[in-house]
Structure 1
């Protein structure tokens, strides 16, 4: 039987039931709990904005590597793999939401706590931190590499010495002026409007653009943002959040497939591991291409603040779960994350390294291994039930994909 929905304070891990507000009000509430109860009575984030936020979490720089995957696997192989990963990602979200209902928490980290105690919580939090830092740094790496080239294509003459064509300078300015202020917002729902812009930019890229499983796993990872979005959803329920997820994954699948197919048909065997490099190399002064490059870079940029939320929450729950919320700590953690990802973006030379390692390890854990493992541990259903068998398949699939992909990446590094 499903438990009643309630709100969860991400900073402290408190669960507040909304079915018994009178009892909650009868007790002496702390300021944080009072604020949380007031937030729960607010209208919440609409279905549409929640879909845009989740799509923004899904569609980041992964879209730039899928044409390369298609070129190496073929159209039919690519279609089968992409559909398989999309369906498994949707099913793993279904398991996560089921466990949240059963345990009455809405935190990935606390699911690890319920399943395996404090070690489980620390492992999940650490995995989320590593994955999100890897993802954000890969997005900023694209900004640093491609934005100066995109700006230069609009200019004539030699402007190579100017600051606005220096990747590192632009990266720092963008992080200080855009990423950091957006990442400081108190609620993830506030980013719904910027996420909608990101979606339309991605669609524009898919229509104009004329390591397989790790890249796909990286491309469909939204699980660290699922539960924060769930908390702020208007009229929250498991079914409504599952509909948000299914809609976001279906639309993302469509855009991924179109962009990968058209990107491949544009360059064929000359597809680069990062698609924008191909446009810079072969279509450097096409006005439409120059415009779409700026759009895709802006869309990638708007994904970074969204990923800050689960990363910051994981850091908070790992080190400060017993402390009340503090704006000073909120600010300092966000600043520290910003500094780390900027440094990684400056010094990581090849985006495929980030895609491969992060996708093969932390992404497969968060999408496949943890949801399957936690459900097997927490659910009281018979092992032969469909859900438990599905969770077992998800777990085995994640272990095989993660280990096989990491082995291939290491073998490739040794050969080089």
Structure 2
């Protein structure tokens, strides 16, 4: 069966726990960590989502073991039949597909500002044109990397992405210390507490979702057992919790009420340290794109055919996916709305509702047993967040400020602290480098 081909494909090239963990971390940490509402959150809310995500990932694989399934799609099909298979396939396709669009939008927003710091590259230069940059990055990096047929081979790329993410975190923390005190008073928050909580929940759902490729990474393990998978899950989701929560605190304490849908839109163009952070973040997103393309391609191949794709079919489907994502990202450039919509439509049911529903139906015994209370609670939470989130996304769409220089960038104090921030960063880097030697 097509849904069982993943295990056969990975049998010739198994990976270690470390490689699987880096792939998982790379899958979890994407453009969601820079979203506006993600930076509004407290560590307590992040910790709650960490617990629920960690539990649901293990629950997903446990349900797969109970049903003898080797993929998310086959698990849902064995549990809820062909209608469930189609619904899951649509969601599992929609999330990484929209995520890839958001990655292209982020790349275009981020790297254009990086290129404008190159001498001779002004606002009218071709390297400052987001459409050209998106096409350039697609042809040079994302499409070639997306052609990999085995997810374990992306382990080294995911390690690079994790290193870049940690570097970005250092940049944001330095900026919080050197820039935050010179910001103007933030505007009055006109959003109701319920709206802020729901929309924040959607963005954090994006910051933690990895269920759509959990089986892919699980089957890439050298010894795919529930205990080894639990270790990978705890390490990966725990690391992502620390990174995301630290990013949220540092980002929001810097810009508070002025925080944009893409937090790097808050930093001024003449900020060299922020430019370095944009560069790292742009390439971190580029290395995450292939993981999402891998899942999207698997969903298509499982729905259309029940066999391994030939090389020609593999290239053709990959080219089609990348081309459509690129075309949509060229036509639409508002990241915040994309993140909210993806969180409501795809992330919430994939994280909370479907894994819990599958486990409740497959596992023996009554639903009123103590070990089934948490899955039932997750379904309720998922339904509430998804329904209210969709309504509020339509009623209160997030503003888009793509490419607009923030008004406070004319403040001379910010330019002075840019120099201080860069000096501080390079002093820390030199200190670590000397000790490493």
> TM range, normalised to the smaller chain?
0.7 to 0.9
Distance 2:3 2:213 in 1: 17
* CA deviation after TM superposition for structure 1 residue 158, in Å: 5.5
Q: Does 1:344 align with 2:328?
A: yes
Report if the CA contact (8 A) 2:337-2:397 is conserved: no
Count matched residues: 375
1:97 to 61, 64, 68: 61
Q: Does 1:166 align with 2:150?
A: no
Distance 1:214 1:103 in 2: 30
Distance 1:15 1:158 in 2: 46
2:44 to 75, 80, 86: 80
1:189 corresponds to = 152
SS at match of 1:209: helix
Report if the CA contact (8 A) 2:113-2:275 is conserved: no
1:61 to 25, 31, 53: 31
- TM-score, structure 2 normalization: 0.81
1:315 to 300, 316, 324: 300
Structure 2 CA distance for partners of 1:265 and 1:116, relative to 1, 3 Å: same
2:393 corresponds to = 409
* CA deviation after TM superposition for structure 1 residue 147, in Å: 0.9
Distance 1:168 1:224 in 2: 29
1:13 corresponds to = 4
Q: Does 1:278 align with 2:266?
A: yes
Report if the CA contact (8 A) 1:133-1:341 is conserved: yes
Q: Does 1:207 align with 2:198?
A: no
Report if the CA contact (8 A) 1:93-1:223 is conserved: yes
1:276-308 per-position Cα deviation (integer Å, ceiling 9, x unaligned)? 1011x3xx2233221121001110111110111
1:287 corresponds to = 272
Distance 2:106 2:87 in 1: 29
Distance 1:223 1:215 in 2: 16
1:54-106 per-position Cα deviation (integer Å, ceiling 9, x unaligned)? 0000000011115x4444x5xxxx22221111111111111111111111222
Aligned CA RMSD, in angstroms, stands at 2.1
2:345 corresponds to = 361
Report if the CA contact (8 A) 2:50-2:237 is conserved: yes
* CA deviation after TM superposition for structure 1 residue 361, in Å: 1.6
Distance 1:240 1:93 in 2: 13
* CA deviation after TM superposition for structure 1 residue 334, in Å: 0.7
Report if the CA contact (8 A) 1:189-1:229 is conserved: yes
Distance 1:90 1:127 in 2: 20
1:290-333 per-position Cα deviation (integer Å, ceiling 9, x unaligned)? 11210011101111101111111111111112x44322211111
SS at match of 1:383: coil
Report if the CA contact (8 A) 1:15-1:104 is conserved: no
Runs of 4+ off more than 6 Å: none
Structure 2 CA distance for partners of 1:415 and 1:63, relative to 1, 3 Å: closer
Structure 2 CA distance for partners of 1:183 and 1:251, relative to 1, 3 Å: same
- TM-score, structure 1 normalization: 0.85
Gaps of 5+ in 2: 174-198, 401-437
Distance 1:324 1:216 in 2: 35
Report if the CA contact (8 A) 1:56-1:195 is conserved: yes
Q: Does 1:198 align with 2:161?
A: yes
Q: Does 1:389 align with 2:373?
A: yes
Report if the CA contact (8 A) 2:360-2:372 is conserved: yes
* CA deviation after TM superposition for structure 1 residue 390, in Å: 1.5
Distance 1:414 1:204 in 2: 28
* CA deviation after TM superposition for structure 1 residue 165, in Å: 2.2
Q: Where does 1:130-141 land on structure 2 (aligned, <5 Å)?
A: 130-141=94-105
SS at match of 2:167: helix
Distance 1:246 1:127 in 2: 25
Distance 2:109 2:359 in 1: 41
Structure 2 CA distance for partners of 1:208 and 1:388, relative to 1, 3 Å: same
Report if the CA contact (8 A) 2:353-2:382 is conserved: yes
Structure 2 CA distance for partners of 1:295 and 1:87, relative to 1, 3 Å: same
* CA deviation after TM superposition for structure 1 residue 252, in Å: 0.6
* CA deviation after TM superposition for structure 1 residue 13, in Å: 2.6
2:21 corresponds to = 51
Report if the CA contact (8 A) 1:89-1:367 is conserved: yes
1:325 to 266, 286, 309: 309
1:351-376 per-position Cα deviation (integer Å, ceiling 9, x unaligned)? 11111111012110100111111111
* Farther off after superposition, 186-195 or 169-178: 169-178
SS at match of 1:260: helix
Report if the CA contact (8 A) 1:44-1:234 is conserved: yes
